[in-house]
A and B are shown apart, each in its own frame.
Chain A
Amino acid sequence: MTAFIIRRLLQSVFVMLVVALVAFLMFNYVGDPVNQMVGIDTSFAQREHLRQELGLNDPTLVQFARFVGHAVRGDFGLSYQHKRPVADLFKERLPATLELSLVAALFSLLVGIPMGVYTGLKPDGWLSRIFMAFSLVGVSLPTFLIGILLIFVFSVILGWLPSYGRGTVVAIGGWTTGLLTVSGLKALLMPAVTLGLFQLTLIMRLVRSEMLEVLRTDYIKFARARGLTDRAINFGHALKNTLVPVMTITGLQIGSIIAFAIITETVFQWPGMGLMFLQAIQNVDIPIMSAYLILVAFFFVVINLIVDILYYVVDPRLRVDTAKANGHA
């Protein structure tokens, strides 16, 4: 178990280093960092001085090491647009994005899995047909269109929900949350549904097909032949066996929820990292862009790590297989 986790951690560190390299290259070679910082009237000598001071004349490897060292401490330099530390900007916006992503992910799981189980158990039922038709819509409509439709119905026509922003937020320590106020929750509803809908339909279809597959297996037939109750068979034996593939996809999906948040945040003017990232692209604010890249990669890596550990918990076969693999290695 520990050996497995250590190996996974090393892989994660490697992935992060590769991403950091990309971010570093972007930082150093897309545009000239010095030009971004100084005015037009700065003399060549002054520029050269600044360049020396920033260490831009050092060997590339030294620069990269320094970049990584700073990144590990959360130091991504100053934003060109805001003239403030990038870390501070992210700290302000991180809660908005994480709350949105988390609620969207929970929504997609808590609704998607039961729908998938139901359609798997009753593939010919009329409700299943409705779910499947609905999922087709969810998969094929682009996110921004769903967002705009929701705004049109619930904000413009009905006037029930705000069309932009986070509503009233409460600060707890360094974290701002919209989950504790009515206005915050109302503001969260549409963005979360918009962001989670695609994942929901994906999870539902996945659970459904896994369920259909598992229900055909010999061990389910044998469980039936032993007279176990439908409940024990469907939820105890079948559902648990669908968990491994569902966890894989869900892990990937939660990562992409954070990435997809860019679109949703733009549609709803949600004050999160995604919105900031998009603005940074428009202004070629490289420090924000590279920091965003690293941060999203970091989330992906952490989620994958968690999924890998969950495999362990769910599937006893992996425990032995990796032990064997370690024995060989």
Chain B
Amino acid sequence: MPGPLLQIAHLRIAFDTRRGNLVAVDDVSFDVHRGEVFGIVGESGAGKSLTGQAVIGLLEPPGRITAGRIRLEGRRIDNLPYARMRRLRGKQIGMIFQDPLTSLNPLYTIGRQLTETILTHRNMSHAQAREHAVRILSDVGIPAAEKRMEHYPHQFSGGMRQRVVIALALCVNPKLVIADEPTTALDVSIQAQIIALLKQLCEKHATAVVLITHDMGVIAEICDRVAVMYAGRIVELGTVRQVVKHARHPYASGLMGAIPSLRHRQERLNQIEGSMPRLAEIPAGCAFHPRCPEAFAKCRRRRPHLIEIQGAQVACWLYGEKA
């Protein structure tokens, strides 16, 4: 079946707070194709996690989708009833969280957590589920998987736990996995391994990945296409080649300047000065203009929209009529 696996169109996520309605994600649109690794990158607070949570239907109140559509294989999933969305989670869309140390229930063996997840979605006997679980554990590179089934999370190292988390997210073979900063909490030496594992597994099962990170290095490592987010909006979207090598938006190239390489991490050289505005204080015009080295008059007055340039999309007045 052709057509993108995941389609997000004009997504808006807002919080009803006492100080009014705060829009945290606005007009976000992108497609993810089958088997593709799609990156979302941006500084902390850009709205990346909220976008991921919206896809899997786990936005926490008071946050909610106030506009837009999310489609999986052409069917809308943003307005599904709770029970149907629940059955989609894990089975069609998996999720990997940032911190492997806190993602696993400390009181149950990982074997139990795996078989429970498998049995929730698959119609098989307990013995079959166990067998399946052992196979998945060895797939994610856990030695002596059979024996490790009986172990509790605290008996695993951080890197090993993230492997278990990946096993849990992929155990019923979802079509899409959302990985929200999957390596941020890990030791630098382990990050590359986990990223490689994720890439290898998803390639093998043709699983698409939405990889959320603030680290351009990770993006460059495994993504096919990438969206750069700033203050709740996508400011640049394109293939990794286009965005990483030839970033057009000053924010995207700023992030590139701040790139710490996965292999030889150095001091961040060109950190972008200043910080992202709080939700209630997003400036008029282009949200990035107060920090932008190339801002000019129009940037302060009017908000740029995404325009297409050679297959990539950029929201910046440097690439439109300047007046």
Query: How many inter-chain residue pairs (CB < 8 Å) link A and B?
Result: 75
On whether the beta carbons of A228 and B97 are closer than 8 Å, the reply is: no
On whether the beta carbons of B155 and A320 are closer than 8 Å, the reply is: yes
Give bound CA distance, A240 to B106, whole Å: 10
On whether the beta carbons of B107 and A225 are closer than 8 Å, the reply is: no
Stretch from B22-30, B88-96, B242-250 forming part of the interface with A: B88-96
On whether the beta carbons of B94 and A226 are closer than 8 Å, the reply is: yes
On whether the beta carbons of A227 and B103 are closer than 8 Å, the reply is: no
- Which chain B positions have C-beta within 8 A of A226? 89-90, 94-95, 117, 120, 168-169
Q: Give chain A interface residues in 298-329, CB to chain B under 8 Å.
A: 314-317, 320
Nearest chain-B residue to A217 (Cβ)? Answer: B102
1/0 contact string of A215-249 vs chain B (CB within 8 Å): 00111011111111110100011001100000000
Q: A241-B107, A315-B107 are in contact. Are A218 and B102 (CB under 8 A)?
A: yes
On whether the beta carbons of B107 and A240 are closer than 8 Å, the reply is: yes
Q: A222-B104, A317-B154 are in contact. Are A229 and B86 (CB under 8 A)?
A: yes
On whether the beta carbons of A221 and B97 are closer than 8 Å, the reply is: yes
On whether the beta carbons of A227 and B120 are closer than 8 Å, the reply is: yes
Minimum-distance CB pairs A-B, first 4: A227-B90, A227-B89, A225-B95, A226-B90
- Which chain B positions have C-beta within 8 A of A218? 97, 99, 102-103
Of B106, B121, B154, B168, the residue contacting A222 (CB under 8 A) is: B168
Chain B interface residues (CB < 8 Å from chain A): 56, 58, 86-91, 94-95, 97, 99, 102-109, 116-117, 120-121, 152, 154-155, 165, 168-169
Q: How close is A223's CB to chain B, nearest CB, in angstroms?
A: 7
Give bound CA distance, A217 to B105, whole Å: 9
On whether the beta carbons of B90 and A225 are closer than 8 Å, the reply is: yes
Nearest chain-B residue to A319 (Cβ)? Answer: B152
On whether the beta carbons of A229 and B103 are closer than 8 Å, the reply is: no
On whether the beta carbons of A316 and B117 are closer than 8 Å, the reply is: no
- Which chain A positions have C-beta within 8 A of B88? 227
- Which chain B positions have C-beta within 8 A of A229? 86, 120
Of A230, A241, A320, the residue contacting B105 (CB under 8 A) is: A241
- Which chain A positions have C-beta within 8 A of B97? 218, 221-222, 225
On whether the beta carbons of A222 and B155 are closer than 8 Å, the reply is: no
- Which chain B positions have C-beta within 8 A of A314? 107
- Which chain A positions have C-beta within 8 A of B117? 226-228
On whether the beta carbons of A225 and B89 are closer than 8 Å, the reply is: yes
Give bound CA distance, A229 to B90, whole Å: 11
Nearest chain-B residue to A316 (Cβ)? Answer: B152
Chain A residue total in the interface (Cβ 8 A): 23
- Which chain A positions have C-beta within 8 A of B102? 217-219
Of A227, A241, A320, the residue contacting B86 (CB under 8 A) is: A227
Give bound CA distance, A232 to B116, whole Å: 9
On whether the beta carbons of A219 and B89 are closer than 8 Å, the reply is: no
Q: How close is A10's CB to chain B, nearest CB, in angstroms?
A: 27
- Which chain B positions have C-beta within 8 A of A237? 105, 108
On whether the beta carbons of B154 and A320 are closer than 8 Å, the reply is: yes
- Which chain B positions have C-beta within 8 A of A224? 58, 89
Give bound CA distance, A219 to B165, whole Å: 10
Give bound CA distance, A232 to B112, whole Å: 12
Give bound CA distance, A281 to B152, whole Å: 53
Q: A316-B152, A316-B154 are in contact. Are A228 and B120 (CB under 8 A)?
A: yes
Question: Can you report 11 A-B residue pairs in the complex whose CB atoms are below 8 A from each other?
Answer: A217-B102, A221-B97, A222-B168, A226-B117, A226-B168, A226-B169, A227-B88, A227-B91, A228-B117, A315-B107, A316-B152
- Which chain B positions have C-beta within 8 A of A232? 116, 120
- Which chain B positions have C-beta within 8 A of A241? 105-107
Q: A226-B94, A226-B120, A232-B120 are in contact. Are A219 and B168 (CB under 8 A)?
A: no
Give bound CA distance, A225 to B109, whole Å: 19
Give bound CA distance, A240 to B108, whole Å: 10
- Which chain B positions have C-beta within 8 A of A236? 116
Known pairs A222-B95, A225-B90, A226-B94; list 12 more (Cβ under 8 Å). Answer: A219-B102, A219-B105, A225-B95, A225-B169, A227-B86, A227-B91, A228-B116, A241-B105, A315-B106, A316-B152, A317-B154, A320-B155
Give bound CA distance, A316 to B110, whole Å: 12
Nearest chain-B residue to A317 (Cβ)? Answer: B154
On whether the beta carbons of B103 and A222 are closer than 8 Å, the reply is: yes
